[in-house]
Structure 1
């Protein structure tokens, strides 16, 4: 029998706003042990049959398993996922972590209002929701881009008067969804046009995973090319084609995400984080951080 402590809606107690076709809830949760939360019609904060959900994780990790969707959705810090799961689902939270996230339920009526003329992509979303067919655009989980991060923080800050609250939030939601859909569509276009040999794709995937596992290493293009088994030209152009971002832009984004986690955990000051990220001068780190997040490390930390 499902305990009240294992209901999915226990971590999403704080409702930011409930608009006609959109509901936004947030979570700030500390876990002391592994726990599996169960989501069904009674324990979901959303209208399960009619809402697709955009989940954005600022900090922490949640692994979700949706009935009817083959792959699990493994969300970690600075990532997001767009899923429609009308059946019973499970969400695994790991011990000893702080989870900060926002979940946005988007009703099918919202997509109907967006539909202008023929749009197979939006029509596909609407048809699946109407047929109660689970789907996910998050097989690889999308990164929470700096622009998306900035919009989400504006939603959280609630800097609006009652008179313009709904209008202001609608404009932010439109901006956020446009950014997310651009990521999804760009990903689908890349998958539909493979211009790289299978063997080279495997090498690019391997070097990407190597970078992710050794993010604080002092990389050079030559050293990465040697490790990957590709020449520098193939590595540089192939990585950009495969992942939509240059090798060093990707390294910078991973380091900035790690830096934000370290600042938020409260155990490191700005100077320590700057040096760990490879910056000789704190000011250079602060400038790069502000360019990425729109806030200085000090503003972000507090």
Structure 2
């Protein structure tokens, strides 16, 4: 793209010439955050590093395509890749074909050589989460499960990059919730490290289960339809959406909508909408941007008590406890 590049902007931030950079370490967990804007380019980049694991959460606002070069000296790793918004194409020197990373898709791969580049396609909002396990950590974590990871471990032994499966999976509600738990963890000290390690193991299990289902699955046209339905719900979840309105919008019947959404995302349309609304409510309350009454109105609840009941059913605490929970952790 024209003007200041992504890499140039990162360098200026780290040198204190632009944006904002913070970093802290506690009990073996290193967290760093970069935030900056330059012209039409906006950047938010958070990393969480534990022994043997790196979590990389990237958000970019840009009017045109961006190319990110991968450093040649980066060590080999088992990589969990999740594209939440936007799309990209990754080219690695020792993989025969480019990897397409489409919105709301994920995959698992081993990279013996990370040298290559990533082209982020045009679009205002781009967001992805990338998790890298050091090979030795991954071997110890997966133990003796040779059947599930046989192909991947064989590639690791031969130091040959490979995908776990050629087909990307759709990000279902379980994966989305676990990613949120990892990236928004508010715990501190040794409990934080324990929590993150447990959640990362859970995420790997969910991803492998979802990718296994993908290999048994589905008509590509139906995959695309339900990906579009999920994107529509994600964009309009604050509106008064009904099953009938979704069916009319996509020209399908209610039976196909309910069955297909459950098969693809392991949850119902209603539970998915509830999850989006409750996560947004918690984020607004934790940030102090809104009062309980304002969130009640935003989510179209008729009374604050009704919202509090729904919130407690979802999170196990009432909205007024949010500030107290933050102080405990």
TM-score category of the 2 structures, normalised to the smaller one: 0.5 to 0.7
Distance 2:70 2:224 in 1: 37
Match of 1:110 among 129, 137, 145: 137
Shift of 1:240: 0.6
Distance 2:7 2:222 in 1: 49
The alignment's TM-score, normalised by the length of structure 1, stands at: 0.66
Match of 1:223 among 240, 245, 255: 245
Q: Given the alignment of the two structures, is residue 50 of structure 1 paired with residue 76 of structure 2, yes or no?
A: yes
Q: Given the alignment of the two structures, is residue 87 of structure 1 paired with residue 91 of structure 2, yes or no?
A: no
Shift of 1:133: 1.7
Conservation of the 8 A alpha-carbon contact between 1:142 and 1:183 = no
- What secondary structure, in the 3-state scheme, does the structure 1 residue paired with 2:263 have? helix
The alignment's TM-score, normalised by the length of structure 2, stands at: 0.61
- What secondary structure, in the 3-state scheme, does the structure 1 residue paired with 2:32 have? strand
- What secondary structure, in the 3-state scheme, does the structure 1 residue paired with 2:100 have? coil
Match of 1:29 in 2: 34
Shift of 1:12: 7.9
> Aligned residue pairs: how many?
277
Match of 1:6 among 7, 10, 23: 10
> Unpaired segments of 5 or more residues in structure 2?
15-19, 44-65, 93-97
Distance 1:211 1:80 in 2: 19
* Aligned-residue RMSD, C-alpha: 4.7
Question: Would the alpha carbon gap of residues 234 and 104 (structure 1) be closer, same or farther in structure 2, given more than 3 Å must change?
Answer: closer
Residue correspondence of structure 1 range 10-21 to structure 2 within 5 A:
10=14, 14=23, 16=25
**More strand by percentage:** 2
Q: Given the alignment of the two structures, is residue 158 of structure 1 paired with residue 188 of structure 2, yes or no?
A: yes
Match of 2:273 in 1: 251
Match of 2:233 in 1: 211
Match of 1:121 among 148, 152, 171: 148
Distance 1:296 1:248 in 2: 21
Superposed CA offset, 1:8-30 (max 9, x none): 995886354686xxxx5423333
Q: Given the alignment of the two structures, is residue 133 of structure 1 paired with residue 142 of structure 2, yes or no?
A: no
Distance 1:12 1:136 in 2: 35
Conservation of the 8 A alpha-carbon contact between 1:216 and 1:276 = yes
Superposed CA offset, 1:131-164 (max 9, x none): 252658876556654456446666x53244xxxx
Match of 1:193 in 2: 216
Distance 1:240 1:227 in 2: 19
Question: Would the alpha carbon gap of residues 218 and 187 (structure 1) be closer, same or farther in structure 2, given more than 3 Å must change?
Answer: same
Shift of 1:180: 0.6
Superposed CA offset, 1:87-146 (max 9, x none): 245597x9x99x9x9976421111211344352433434444552526588765566544
Distance 2:249 2:12 in 1: 43
Match of 2:91 in 1: 67
Superposed CA offset, 1:210-231 (max 9, x none): 3233222222223333333333
Question: Would the alpha carbon gap of residues 229 and 65 (structure 1) be closer, same or farther in structure 2, given more than 3 Å must change?
Answer: closer
Distance 1:235 1:142 in 2: 15
> Unpaired segments of 5 or more residues in structure 1?
43-47
